[in-house]
Chain A
Amino acid sequence: MIDRLADPTSASWYEASARARIDGLLDAGGFREFVGPEQRRMSPHLPLFDLPRAFDDGMVVGEGILDGRPVLVAAQEGRFMGGAFGEVHGAKLVGLLRAARQRKPAAVLILFDTGGVRLQEANAGETAIAEVMRAIAEVRALGVPVIGLIGGRAGAYGGGGLIAGTCSRLAVSESGRISVSGPEVIETNRGAEEFDSRDRALVWRTMGGKHRRLTGGADAFADDTVAAFRAAALNLIGRAPAFDLATLEAEQARLEQRLARFGDCREATEIWSRLGVNDPAAVPATTASAFDALLSGLGETTHDAR
């Protein structure tokens, strides 16, 4: 083997596979996978469509240690069917969250990388989304924070975007995207004048990590490295909100306020401008450290409303 060029501490989260993300995120050597690929629990539906299957159905779940404390982890493999939720894929995440009710880990980490529900097994996928959201509510109610990490190629779209909305805290990188309807879906339904899906700068301004962080849709902004996501996860576990009526009411109030304040904006840059960003057009090109400095100057981007 020749030496790898990439320094492991600076390895890209965006580039990494689901397993490589888990490897770099957790303390070394402590990960134990549940229903691993050797068990070959594959999709029962894909063969009907003559589509290839994956031994892990694109979802890796298990337990491990993060900075000395036990955590449960789920990671979606965005390179298999765009990380989409199918029956087995979804059931593994539901099972992990149900296990969290008994085990009470320090946190459950969900490494999103998904375009949403797999069309070939849509009913099972949609059901899984609903079950996951219910299970997250139950886990959070028991005081276990559920942290979402979003920086993969597929982002967190469709049901993945909904699930992200139920997490205690979210960390996102610049290339991470969070939304429900994807750019192509919006364009197909409302036309290119409404949303030009090929204008990728527009897509990222509207759904990308920086925008989500600026508007408080995500709670931490991470550089695109595995190390940065580990640091963000540790930080977010420490400041997860309580899951009670007061939190939910505050969230509702903030969402209403957001709508009143930005509802007439036609462009993300208008929102940023109203937030107090002096040079909105320069935001997409800023580095992570400059962006952090910008955030600290705004002082109102940390709240629980998504």
Chain B
Amino acid sequence: MNEWRRERAAREARIEAGRAQVEGKAEGKVVPADRVVALLEAILRPGDRVCLEGDNQKQADCLARGLVQCDPARVHDLHMVQSGVVLPEHLDVFETGIARRLDYSYSGPQGARIARMLYGGQIELGAVHTYLELFARYFVDLTPNVALIAGVSADRDGNLYTGPNTEDTPTVVEATAFKNGVVVAQVNEIVDRVPRVDIPGDRIDFVVEADKPFYVEPLFTRDPAAMTETQILIAMMAIKGIYAEYGVRRLNHGIGFGTAAIELLLPTYGERLGLKGEIATHWALNPHPTLIPAIESGWVRQVHCFGSEVGMDRYIRERPDIFFTGADGSLRSNRAFCQTAGLYACDMFIGATLQIDLAGHSSTVTQSRVAGFGGAPNMGSDPHGRRHPSDTWMKAGREAGGVGDPSLMRGRKLVVQLVETFGDGLVPTFVERLDAMELARKIGLELAPVMIYGDDVTHIVTEEGIANLLLCRDADEREQAIRGVAGYTEIGRGRDRAKVEELRGRGIIRRPEDLGIEPLDADRSLLAARSIKDLVHWSGGLYEPPAKFRNW
């Protein structure tokens, strides 16, 4: 055996062992669902790095159930490397010893359990990554030995159609298949010919026909009926005080109600301000249902997506000028590319958070939950690798106090936090010390899980006003600018009134009246859609909302 081909030989041995398990039962690469456990036990080796595809929406749930059932005497001490820890099975494998070490990005619904298991020492944590970091490490030091992925359909040669929720799949397969790894795909159905080839069959070693279609979570649907007048006021301030002033055309939105309100105000309030075509034309964004009215009224030029959204498929299919679609007509999403687009090609990230401290650091961690990171940290950071100018980026750069020769000046990405001073349950958003720091101390993390670092944040918008941190010249000014929009929280009440008024005089803090906004005008009648049903009407009946969002 050539010593340069040890990995290749190992891969061939795994595949041979896998094939032996399904001898006589497989057709081409297709393995019946009832042989999943035997297949996994044959191809996995103790200590393997495994990506069990879990994204923030799509889940390889059939393979996850199979992995949990493996014999821990045969399959153990796996190192899980996947972006999403979302299903209970993703953590069950740590309880039985099948897995030991974890590197991940996002754990949304499992945040509380993951915190307990970290605290109890059941999980050996590598790090909590941003998406791009984890994807990058797939190609450097976290390359999977085995990838267990999910697609909509496959043919007998393994050509895979991932459907609208492509998400992480191409990245995971790229890293695994081209570095001597084994790729197993679960699909909802085996077909003679896939609608389009998202992953070529020679990168897929086994295809499992799942017992039921993979689960997709509707994460990006915000019901307009639940939008409050406070959120509308904040959205009006953002449109007038930031979108219009900086001429923001290329952007990403977070998933909160505030940004959803902005989407619904574009065709109404934005139209009245004469901003159509001037702002919000090019997006790195999941297909938010609340963007439908803006698309239908001609505001949006194009949208590239990380994933899809439940119920949006037919609408997207009928709007190929706006979305990226395949030859078959359905959406092609790609998390790695869209994150990159959000990082380098967008001039603004705007989103909500749960806690902001006096330096502007923000976190969605509470003391008992490690929710990990979504798309915010990559897109909500100033990319120092950027070199192409835009008016928005340059204006922000000038405000940040660039000195010296203008041709050596650097622009700044706008990173905007859109928050109410008190969140759910009247919990203050502004805090002296982030809960993330306490959590990090308790479970022994070297770094506190900070969503967006203070030095990346350029604006904070609350119902009390906009704080422009670009214009602040020292830490004290930043602190007072933050206190100056923190309302009646302890932080807000601790402000130096004279200093805050001085900042207001310099335009660092701007109240609604400074922007020519009358708070009483923040009315729900301004929303282009006030219910999910309105969104269905806007879409011409193409949007098919999931049952939990209906009231008809």
Chain A contact residues, CB within 8 Å of chain B: 1-2, 4-6, 11-12, 14-15, 153, 174-175, 198-204, 208, 210, 284-285
B387: interface (CB < 8 Å): no
Residues on the B chain within 8 Å of A203, using CB: 551
Given contacts A2-B521, A15-B525, A201-B547, 6 further A-B contacts (CB under 8 A): A2-B272, A5-B268, A5-B525, A15-B524, A204-B550, A284-B550
How far is it, in angstroms, between the C-alpha of A5 and the C-alpha of B518 when the chains are bound? 15
- Contact partner of B548 (CB less than 8 A), chosen from A12, A14, A15, A200, is A200
Write the nearest CB–CB distance from A246 to chain B, whole angstroms.
37
Contact B268 A200 (CB under 8 A): no
> Which residues of chain B in 501-552 are interfacial with respect to chain A, using CB atoms and an 8 Å cutoff?
518, 520-521, 523-526, 530-531, 541, 547-552
Contact B547 A202 (CB under 8 A): yes
A199-B552 CB under 8 A given contacts A2-B518, A2-B521, A5-B268: no
How far is it, in angstroms, between the C-alpha of A4 and the C-alpha of B525 when the chains are bound? 7
A1-B521 CB under 8 A given contacts A175-B551, A198-B548, A202-B547: yes
How far is it, in angstroms, between the C-alpha of A153 and the C-alpha of B524 when the chains are bound? 14
Give the nearest-CB partner of A208 in chain B.
B552
Residues on the A chain within 8 Å of B548, using CB: 198-200
Contact B525 A284 (CB under 8 A): no
**Chain B, interface size: which category?**
10 to 19
How far is it, in angstroms, between the C-alpha of A208 and the C-alpha of B272 when the chains are bound? 36
How far is it, in angstroms, between the C-alpha of A153 and the C-alpha of B223 when the chains are bound? 14
Contact A200 B272 (CB under 8 A): no
Contact B550 A201 (CB under 8 A): yes
Contact A199 B523 (CB under 8 A): no
Contact A15 B551 (CB under 8 A): no
How far is it, in angstroms, between the C-alpha of A199 and the C-alpha of B550 when the chains are bound? 8
Q: List 7 A-B contacts (CB under 8 A).
A: A2-B521, A6-B525, A11-B525, A12-B530, A201-B550, A202-B547, A203-B551
Contact A1 B520 (CB under 8 A): yes
Residues on the B chain within 8 Å of A284, using CB: 550, 552
A200-B518 CB under 8 A given contacts A4-B523, A12-B530: no
Give the nearest-CB partner of B520 in chain A.
A1
Contact A5 B530 (CB under 8 A): no
Write the nearest CB–CB distance from B513 to chain A, whole angstroms.
14
- Contact partner of B518 (CB less than 8 A), chosen from A1, A4, A198, A208, is A1
Residues on the B chain within 8 Å of A200, using CB: 547-551
How far is it, in angstroms, between the C-alpha of A226 and the C-alpha of B225 when the chains are bound? 17
Residues on the A chain within 8 Å of B523, using CB: 4
Residues on the A chain within 8 Å of B549, using CB: 200
How far is it, in angstroms, between the C-alpha of A5 and the C-alpha of B531 when the chains are bound? 16
Give the nearest-CB partner of B271 in chain A.
A5
Residues on the B chain within 8 Å of A11, using CB: 525
Residues on the A chain within 8 Å of B268, using CB: 5
Give the nearest-CB partner of B521 in chain A.
A2
How far is it, in angstroms, between the C-alpha of A201 and the C-alpha of B548 when the chains are bound? 7
A15-B530 CB under 8 A given contacts A204-B550, A284-B552: yes
Write the nearest CB–CB distance from A294 to chain B, whole angstroms.
15
Contact A204 B518 (CB under 8 A): no
Write the nearest CB–CB distance from B171 to chain A, whole angstroms.
33
Residues on the B chain within 8 Å of A15, using CB: 524-525, 530
Write the nearest CB–CB distance from A132 to chain B, whole angstroms.
27
How far is it, in angstroms, between the C-alpha of A193 and the C-alpha of B206 when the chains are bound? 36
What sequence of 0s and 1s flags, for each residue 230-274 of chain B, a beta carbon within 8 Å of any chain A beta carbon? Answer: 000000000000000000000000000000000000001000100
Write the nearest CB–CB distance from B538 to chain A, whole angstroms.
15
How far is it, in angstroms, between the C-alpha of A100 and the C-alpha of B127 when the chains are bound? 71
Residues on the A chain within 8 Å of B525, using CB: 4-6, 11, 15
Contact A204 B520 (CB under 8 A): no
Residues on the B chain within 8 Å of A208, using CB: 551-552
Give the nearest-CB partner of B525 in chain A.
A6
How far is it, in angstroms, between the C-alpha of A287 and the C-alpha of B551 when the chains are bound? 14
How far is it, in angstroms, between the C-alpha of A2 and the C-alpha of B517 when the chains are bound? 9
Write the nearest CB–CB distance from B285 to chain A, whole angstroms.
25
Contact A175 B552 (CB under 8 A): yes
Residues on the A chain within 8 Å of B225, using CB: 153
Give the nearest-CB partner of B527 in chain A.
A5
How far is it, in angstroms, between the C-alpha of A202 and the C-alpha of B547 when the chains are bound? 8
How far is it, in angstroms, between the C-alpha of A208 and the C-alpha of B548 when the chains are bound? 15
How far is it, in angstroms, between the C-alpha of A199 and the C-alpha of B549 when the chains are bound? 8
Residues on the B chain within 8 Å of A202, using CB: 547
Give the nearest-CB partner of B536 in chain A.
A285
Interface pairs A-B: 10 shortest CB-CB? A6-B525, A201-B547, A200-B550, A201-B550, A199-B547, A198-B548, A284-B552, A204-B552, A2-B521, A174-B552
How far is it, in angstroms, between the C-alpha of A175 and the C-alpha of B534 when the chains are bound? 13
Write the nearest CB–CB distance from A277 to chain B, whole angstroms.
16
Write the nearest CB–CB distance from B249 to chain A, whole angstroms.
25
Residue of A2, A174, A199 with most partner-chain B CB within 10 A: A2
How far is it, in angstroms, between the C-alpha of A12 and the C-alpha of B533 when the chains are bound? 13
Residues on the B chain within 8 Å of A4, using CB: 523, 525
Residues on the A chain within 8 Å of B272, using CB: 2
Residue of B225, B272, B550 with most partner-chain A CB within 10 A: B550
> Which residues of chain B in 421-461 are interfacial with respect to chain A, using CB atoms and an 8 Å cutoff?
none
Residues on the B chain within 8 Å of A6, using CB: 525
Write the nearest CB–CB distance from A163 to chain B, whole angstroms.
22
How far is it, in angstroms, between the C-alpha of A99 and the C-alpha of B550 when the chains are bound? 40
Write the nearest CB–CB distance from A18 to chain B, whole angstroms.
15
Give the nearest-CB partner of B268 in chain A.
A5
Residues on the B chain within 8 Å of A285, using CB: 541, 552
Write the nearest CB–CB distance from B278 to chain A, whole angstroms.
19
Give the nearest-CB partner of B524 in chain A.
A15
Contact A204 B551 (CB under 8 A): yes
Give the nearest-CB partner of A198 in chain B.
B548
How far is it, in angstroms, between the C-alpha of A120 and the C-alpha of B388 when the chains are bound? 61
Write the nearest CB–CB distance from B537 to chain A, whole angstroms.
9
Write the nearest CB–CB distance from B490 to chain A, whole angstroms.
19
How far is it, in angstroms, between the C-alpha of A210 and the C-alpha of B552 when the chains are bound? 8
How far is it, in angstroms, between the C-alpha of A174 and the C-alpha of B520 when the chains are bound? 29
> Which residues of chain B in 204-225 are interfacial with respect to chain A, using CB atoms and an 8 Å cutoff?
225
Give the nearest-CB partner of A202 in chain B.
B547
How far is it, in angstroms, between the C-alpha of A202 and the C-alpha of B548 when the chains are bound? 9
Residues on the B chain within 8 Å of A12, using CB: 530
What sequence of 0s and 1s flags, for each residue 165-199 of chain B, a beta carbon within 8 Å of any chain A beta carbon? Answer: 00000000000000000000000000000000000
Give the nearest-CB partner of B272 in chain A.
A2
Residues on the B chain within 8 Å of A199, using CB: 547-548
How far is it, in angstroms, between the C-alpha of A206 and the C-alpha of B272 when the chains are bound? 41
How far is it, in angstroms, between the C-alpha of A177 and the C-alpha of B221 when the chains are bound? 23
How far is it, in angstroms, between the C-alpha of A1 and the C-alpha of B272 when the chains are bound? 13
Residues on the A chain within 8 Å of B550, using CB: 200-201, 204, 284
Give the nearest-CB partner of A6 in chain B.
B525
Residues on the B chain within 8 Å of A153, using CB: 225
Write the nearest CB–CB distance from A90 to chain B, whole angstroms.
27
Write the nearest CB–CB distance from B357 to chain A, whole angstroms.
29
How far is it, in angstroms, between the C-alpha of A285 and the C-alpha of B524 when the chains are bound? 24
